[in-house]
């Protein structure tokens, strides 16, 4: 059966790293005999100019109908107000496709220096549909509002259902990774009700995983321990904002956001997405690092049951990173986007022979 994917390039360096990622995807699928069809649609500024919105409804329908989505970075902070079509495509897809889990691995590579000198191999499992994020935690109406000038209020939604869902995803992942160590991140000493709901749900799920060692940490203590000794962490489960912050920290500790892959998934849909932004200052120069989106596609393939193609991409990316001549400047190398991409696809072809 043909694998059907939808590519949404996004803004800034998005089109460049999407082209690179699709080259890698097609090479891996050809090497493993995986039939794949990739369609494309416009989002971001291109869609806004052409259709008056950064993510048209028919694009969402196409995302829902395919097996998986490859989402490039978007410049949502530069978009006009929502009333003028400036929706955040990432937030819209997460909400409309019910992508409750954001899986963000942080894994260092021997050839890429880390800030602390520690090797890093952890995964932040981030709840994706609620918390303080205004575009995700209300059915209608904003979660942020200003009742009088100079006073801004924000509401946070935490539910037992979504907390259980992210806990199930995290513990199942910990068991698959074999480390069976889970850190649960919270601030229940202050946010007693909302983080209390989260903790109660996670503790209930944890009882079904007696083989997993569970540690509960305050968000501030966790951040300090990430820096002091990231090797103590394996799987980290967190609510939306905590997971967002800690995953960026983990990725920097592992060598930088340029290698920070991520997968958004629900029960029925999945979206591969680079962790980093659209870097408009680098757009069109041919120097963007495609590693994050390439790694994200490997995660998507694995999630969709194509483990051979996923493993081939992961191995080839690692081989390209080993040589400064085939990794980009942000990783201490000298390669252009094209040269790094060619190195990855060449390694795929060699490994498949």
The reply to whether 242 and 147 lie within a common domain is yes
Q: How far is CA 279 from the centre of its chain?
A: 16
Same domain, 273 and 230: no
Residues near 210 by beta carbon (within 8 Å), at least 6 away in sequence: none
Alpha-carbon separation of residue 206 from 83, 108, 168, 182 (angstroms): 43, 28, 8, 9
Looking at the fold, whether 233 and 336 belong to one and the same domain comes out as no
- Of all helices (H) and strands (E), which one includes residue 92? helix 89-96
pTM of the model: 0.94
Question: By residue range, what is the domain housing residue 132?
Answer: 114-254
141 and 70 in a common domain: no
Pair (137, 237) in one structural domain:
yes
- Residue spans of beta strands (DSSP E) within 118-240: 121-127, 144-148, 151-154, 181-186, 213-218, 235-238
The values of phi and psi at residue 185, to 5°, are: -105, 135
Q: Are residues 266 and 238 in the same domain?
A: no
- The reply to whether 17 and 63 lie within a common domain is yes
The CB-side HSE value for 88 (13 A sphere, CA atoms) comes to: 13
- Domain membership of residue 104 (yes or no) is no
Residue 45 belongs to a domain: yes
Helix (H) or strand (E) holding 68: strand 68-71
What tens digit of pLDDT does each residue of 172-188 get? 999 999 878 999 999 99
Q: Cα-Cα-Cα-Cα dihedral of 314, 316, 318, 323, to 10°? A: -170
Per-residue confidence in pLDDT tens, the chain, 353 aa: 899 999 999 999 999 999 999 999 999 999 999 999 999 999 999 999 999 999 999 999 999 999 999 999 999 999 999 999 999 999 999 999 999 999 999 999 999 999 999 999 999 999 999 988 766 667 777 788 899 999 998 888 999 999 999 999 999 999 999 878 999 999 999 999 999 999 999 999 999 999 999 999 999 999 999 999 999 999 999 999 999 999 999 999 999 999 999 999 999 999 999 999 999 999 999 999 999 999 999 999 999 999 999 999 999 999 999 999 999 999 999 999 999 999 999 999 998 77
**What is the number of structural domains in the chain?**
2
Torsion angle, CA of 244/250/254/260, rounded to 10 degrees?
-10
């Amino acid at each position: 059966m043909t694998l059907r994917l939808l590519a949404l390039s996004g803004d800034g360096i998005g089109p460049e790293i999407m082209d690179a990622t699709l080259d890698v995807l097609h090479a891996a699928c050809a090497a493993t005999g995986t039939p794949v069809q990739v369609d494309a649609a416009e989002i971001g500024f291109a869609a806004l100019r052409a259709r008056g919105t950064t993510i048209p409804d028919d694009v969402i329908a196409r995302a829902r109908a395919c097996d998986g989505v490859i989402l490039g970075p978007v410049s949502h902070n530069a978009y006009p107000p929502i009333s003028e079509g400036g929706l955040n495509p990432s937030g819209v897809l997460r909400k409309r496709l019910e992508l409750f889990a954001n899986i963000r691995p942080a894994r260092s590579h021997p050839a890429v220096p880390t800030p602390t000198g520690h090797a890093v191999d952890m995964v932040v499992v981030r709840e994706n549909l609620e918390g303080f994020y205004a575009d995700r935690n209300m059915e209608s109406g904003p979660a942020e509002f200003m009742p009088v000038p100079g006073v801004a209020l924000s509401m946070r939604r935490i539910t037992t259902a979504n907390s259980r869902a992210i806990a199930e995803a995290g513990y199942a992942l910990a068991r698959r990774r074999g480390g069976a160590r889970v850190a649960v991140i919270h601030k229940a000493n202050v946010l007693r009700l909302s983080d209390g709901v989260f903790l109660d749900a996670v503790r209930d799920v944890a009882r079904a995983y007696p083989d997993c060692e569970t540690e509960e940490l305050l968000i501030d203590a966790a951040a300090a321990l990430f820096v002091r000794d990231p090797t103590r962490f394996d799987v980290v489960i967190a609510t939306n904002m905590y997971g967002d912050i800690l995953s960026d920290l983990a990725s920097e500790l592992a060598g930088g956001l340029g290698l920070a892959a991520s997968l958004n998934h629900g029960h029925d849909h999945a979206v591969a997405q680079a962790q980093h932004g659209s870097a408009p200052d680098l757009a069109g120069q041919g120097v963007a690092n495609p590693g994050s989106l390439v790694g994200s596609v490997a995660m998507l393939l694995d999630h969709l049951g194509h483990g051979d193609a996923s493993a081939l991409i992961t191995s080839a990316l690692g081989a390209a990173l080993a040589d400064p001549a085939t990794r980009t400047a942000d990783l201490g190398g000298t390669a252009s986007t094209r040269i790094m991409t060619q190195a990855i696809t060449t390694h795929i072809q060699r490994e498949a022979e």
